[in-house]
Amino acid sequence: MRLDPTLADRHDDLARRHFLRDYDRHIEQLARAIETGEERYVVMYGEWLVPIYRRRGVRMNDVATLLRGLEDASASVLPAVDAAPVRELMASWIERVRRHRRLPGDHRGSPVIRFIWKGAGLGDDTVV
């Protein structure tokens, strides 16, 4: 909530509890990636998270904000030696999640493009 105060406005109490519950698994995957030195644990897990958060109606920008909060919290708890690897792992994880921001649902889209598609009949139900 410190990184994005508007997060509380967009998500109710139940959604915030789900975020806290999910942190357990996020921390587990991050610990596994730090232990092995392989980023695939967080990157593949990040890919797996996208449909789950989409189904819950959570934007990928909000997921990236939650991950940045996890990065700050883990960097403050871990020894200074592990700070650089954690930042690298989290950067690759956040980048993977941000790649999915371009999908519909995270933004309103362009009204001009929407008008063109509707005008061409491609967005109508009658064409199908």
The pLDDT-based confidence of 121 (bands split at 50, 70, 90) is low
**Digit-coded pLDDT (tens) for 93-111:** 988 888 877 666 566 667 7
CB atoms within 10 A of CB 29: 20
Q: pLDDT: is 78 or 125 the higher one?
A: 78
On whether the pTM is more than 0.75, the answer is no
Q: How many domains are there within the chain?
A: 1
Any domain includes 74: yes
Task: Give me the amino acid identity at 113.
Answer: I
**Digit-coded pLDDT (tens) for 18-39:** 998 998 999 999 999 989 989 8
Range of 74's domain? 7-119
Q: Which residues of the chain form beta strands (DSSP E)?
A: none
**Mean pLDDT computed over 110-126:** 62
Mean pLDDT of the chain: 82
The pLDDT-based confidence of 117 (bands split at 50, 70, 90) is low
Any domain includes 1: no
Any domain includes 125: no
Any domain includes 2: no
> Please, are residues 45 and 89 in contact by the beta-carbon 8 Å criterion?
no
